């Protein structure tokens, strides 16, 4: 059975790591994306 952890309040997401490869555009920051709708697509090879 999973152990429940008490809610600690809002947690800020870390920014994207520097040098990240971007597909279809320039590098972005979370601050620059604030207030916009963002669709993320995660995939892996293997």
Tens of pLDDT, residue by residue over 1-46, are: 788 989 889 888 888 888 888 887 888 888 888 899 988 777 887 6
Burial 13-23 (b: 16+ CB within 10 A, else e): eeeeeeeeeee
Dihedral sign from CA coordinates of 31, 15, 41, 10: negative
Question: Environment class of residue 28 by beta-carbon count within 10 Å: exposed (0-12), middle (13-18) or buried (19+)?
Answer: middle
* Measured distance CA(2)–CA(37) in Å, rounded: 32
Residue 36: predicted pLDDT: 92
């Amino acid at each position: 059975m999973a152990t429940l952890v008490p809610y600690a309040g809002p947690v800020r997401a870390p920014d994207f790591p520097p040098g990240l490869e971007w597909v279809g555009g320039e590098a972005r920051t979370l601050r620059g994306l604030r207030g916009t709708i963002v669709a993320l697509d995660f995939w892996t090879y293997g």
